[in-house]
Amino acid sequence: MTDTVKSYAGRPAQLEAYLDLCQSIEKNIDRRMAANRFNLSILTALGAIAGLVLSSEVDLDTAIKAKSLSTVAFAALFVCLSWIFQVLRFREVSRVKHEVAIELETRLDLEKVNLEDVKFRKSSLIVEQTISEMLLPLLIMGVLIWNLLF
């Protein structure tokens, strides 16, 4: 790394911007994972509440149980929808940051391989992560909607 920094001594501002951008990309990934953990925790708590309501340990009227379960289901749907929008927003931020990073790599000549290949790999990784992150909230939403309708 020190050889790379020495060879770019004439362009410290661009190199500094590139290094800051790399840190920003990592922070974005950390925030994305923290948001996923938070949403999963909220959905787990809502599942526990639904289990408590359905439990035979709690004697509730059938109408109260139905209203309580509907409320929990709608809250879970809201959390799932907000989770999907968060994932899509993080995806867009990641896409833009990776595009800027590739542009800076081009200007600094940091990448010695085909830049189109790098761009394709980075963008496909973002898409794969987004799809895998959206599977759980979409699955939960499907189950909730199915149970609410039928």
**What's the pLDDT tens digit per position in 53-94?**
887 666 778 888 888 888 998 999 999 999 999 988 988 888
Q: What are 107-120's pLDDT values in tens digits? A: 777 655 454 555 55
Average confidence score pLDDT of the chain: 78
- Residue 6 in any domain: the answer is no
Our CA dihedral for 114, 117, 122, 123, rounded to 10 degrees, sits at: 130
- Residue 5 in any domain: the answer is no
- Residue 81 in any domain: the answer is yes
- Residue 2 in any domain: the answer is no
25 or 132: which leads in pLDDT: 25
- Residue 79 in any domain: the answer is yes
- Residue 126 in any domain: the answer is yes
30's CB contacts (< 8 A; 6+ apart) are none
- The number of domains in the chain is 1
Continuous segment of H or E residues that includes residue 141: helix 115-149
Q: Tell the residue number behind the tokens 């799809």, with chain if given.
A: 131
**Poorest-confidence range of 29-33, 39-43, 105-109?**
105-109
pTM of the model: 0.69
| Residue 20, pLDDT score | 85
- Residue 92 in any domain: the answer is yes
Residue-number span of the structural domain to which 130 is assigned: 11-149
